[in-house]
């Protein structure tokens, strides 16, 4: 969340950002409730102080044997108590209204974030690698998966409904291999590998900025007051909630977990194959650092670079996009998406996302550290998708298919695939 003092000083900026991020919020309503809350709080404090003085006067009168003089004072105390009952109820209501509206307030965006409505307005920063030119009729990842017996989508749908799948044999091993490659690379850069809870309390999602705006994308476990996470970012940030931590050196965490997403709003989009599914796996980078914009910007470039390095190890062409305001989430200050070339789409498809949140999550989660002067400050938090599978299998299979139907395995993956250098068909393509 933002500091309420910042909102009071910059109402137009906050309102404009909410509109750019397509969040329904009236900053005017928020500030009106905030003013009412403050007015009621002052009335409450003044009445309590007056009551305390009267109570002391009653006690003094009783000690001096002036009981008759104490009776009017007691009546005044009773009157104040009645007023407090009404005002405290109003204060509770005003506070609740403020808190509800505050959960909708978006983070501001960086000066270099492009203004736009959706992903079509994202701006390309760079392209890396060469898009392959095939001299033969290519197959998409579903056809390749079926030919090599890697993927079974029909039985996934039969078992679990739409947007579900089975990975089999080498398909499963590729799925695990890209995760192990990412995890080992991040470990070499000083990240602590973690297996995390994927069922969390709703407050963990609220504190990390995924609720209320992303609640429609999240699976609820009915009757348990638990929800399934769409990223281990939720669990990794919540690991330190309500704590004072040491960020003399940035805290680097790498979460490896299953993830779940409803994909509300994507009906009819990407229905074929593995691009948009309900269950997937990710290796997620999360970094907590000092409250310093230069430091967090440097880390944003670093973690984006880690994701790029993984794609380079996978020998895949990609591009880095600066995400516009309308394609950003509520919590994000600055974001890059990495899109990898997918031959079956004849375009780049998003495979990675990298975000600087500043202190937005830390304020919600109450994660603080002591600066050089011993003053408590809220941390900055950042996150990045090191790899997400099975989506990454789309470009991996499609870009590395060969004319004879076999699939080349990048050198970096071979140690995780038992030394296998390619997947070979057991029968000819008809």
Q: Which residues are catalytic?
A: 261, 276, 350, 353, 391
293-313 and 170-188 helices, crossing angle to 10°: 140
Q: In angstroms, rounded to a whole number, what is the distance separating the alpha carbons of residues 411 and 419?
A: 9
DSSP 201-265: -HHHHHHTT-TTTTGGGS-EETTTTEEE-SSTHHHHHHTTTT-B---SS-EEEEEEEEEE---TT
The burial class, CB within 10 Å (0-12 / 13-18 / 19+), for 195 is exposed
Angle at the Cα of 22 from the Cα atoms of 292 and 35, rounded to 5 degrees = 70
Six token digits for residue 53: 């003085």
Q: Is the peptide bond before 117 cis (omega within 30 degrees of 0)?
A: no
Phi/psi at 251 (5° precision): -85, 120
For 192, other C-beta atoms within 10 Å of its C-beta total: 12
Integer angstrom CA distances of residue 395 from 21, 59, 132, 149, 399: 30, 81, 11, 17, 5
Using the 8-state DSSP alphabet, how is residue 379 labeled? P
Classify residue 418 as left (phi > 0), alpha (psi -120 to 50) or beta: left
Inter-residue long-range contacts of 19-25, CB under 8 Å, 24+ positions, other chains counted: 20/109, 20/115, 20/325, 20/326, 21/106, 21/325, 21/326, 21/328, 21/329, 21/330, 22/326, 23/104, 23/106, 23/213, 23/330, 24/104, 25/101, 25/104, 25/105, 25/106
The alpha carbon of 18 is separated from its chain's Cα centroid by a whole number of angstroms, namely: 17
Six token digits for residue 411: 């050198």
Q: In angstroms, rounded to a whole number, what is the distance separating the alpha carbons of residues 80 and 73?
A: 11
> Is residue 177 a contact partner of residue 416, using CB atoms and an 8 Å limit?
yes
Six token digits for residue 271: 């229905």
Q: In angstroms, rounded to a whole number, what is the distance separating the alpha carbons of residues 35 and 223?
A: 38
């Amino acid at each position: 969340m933002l500091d309420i003092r910042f909102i009071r000083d910059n109402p137009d900026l906050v309102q404009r950002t909410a509109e750019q991020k397509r969040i329904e919020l009236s900053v005017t309503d928020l500030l009106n409730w905030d003013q009412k809350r403050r007015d009621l709080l002052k009335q409450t404090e003044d009445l309590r102080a007056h009551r305390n003085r009267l109570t002391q006067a009653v006690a003094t009168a009783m000690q001096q044997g002036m009981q008759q003089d104490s009776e009017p004072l007691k009546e005044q105390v009773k009157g104040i108590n009645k007023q407090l009952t009404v005002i405290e109820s109003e204060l509770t209501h005003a506070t609740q209204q403020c808190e509800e509206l505050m959960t909708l307030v978006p983070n501001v965006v960086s000066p270099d974030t492009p203004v736009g409505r959706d992903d079509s307005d994202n701006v390309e920063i760079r392209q890396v690698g060469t898009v392959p030119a095939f001299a033969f009729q290519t197959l998409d990842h579903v056809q390749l998966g079926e030919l090599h017996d890697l993927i079974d989508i029909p039985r996934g749908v039969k078992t679990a409904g739409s947007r579900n799948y089975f990975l089999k044999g080498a398909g499963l091993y590729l799925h695990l291999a890209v995760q192990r490659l990412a995890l080992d690379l991040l470990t070499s850069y000083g990240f602590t590998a973690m297996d995390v809870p994927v069922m969390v309390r709703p407050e963990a999602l609220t504190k990390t900025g995924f609720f209320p705006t992303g609640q429609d994308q999240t699976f609820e476990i009915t009757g348990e007051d638990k929800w399934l996470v769409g990223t281990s970012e939720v669990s990794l940030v919540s690991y330190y909630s309500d704590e004072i931590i040491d960020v003399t050196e940035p805290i680097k965490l790498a979460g490896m977990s299953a993830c779940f997403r409803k994909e509300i709003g994507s009906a009819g989009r990407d229905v074929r194959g593995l691009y948009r599914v309900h269950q997937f796996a990710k290796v997620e980078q999360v970094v907590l650092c000092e409250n310093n914009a230069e430091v967090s910007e440097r880390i944003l470039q670093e973690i984006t670079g880690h994701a790029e390095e993984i794609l380079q190890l996978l020998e895949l062409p990609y591009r880095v996009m600066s995400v516009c305001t309308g394609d950003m989430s509520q919590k994000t200050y600055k974001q890059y998406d990495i899109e990898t070339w997918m031959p079956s789409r004849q375009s780049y498809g998003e495979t990675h996302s990298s975000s600087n949140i500043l202190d937005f999550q830390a304020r919600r989660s109450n994660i603080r550290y002591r600066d050089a002067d011993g003053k408590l400050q809220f941390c900055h938090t950042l996150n990045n998708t090191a790899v997400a599978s099975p989506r990454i299998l789309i470009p991996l299979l499609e870009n590395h298919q060969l004319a004879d139907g076999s699939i080349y395995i990048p050198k970096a993956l071979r140690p995780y695939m038992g030394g296998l250098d390619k997947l070979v068909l057991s029968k000819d393509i008809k």
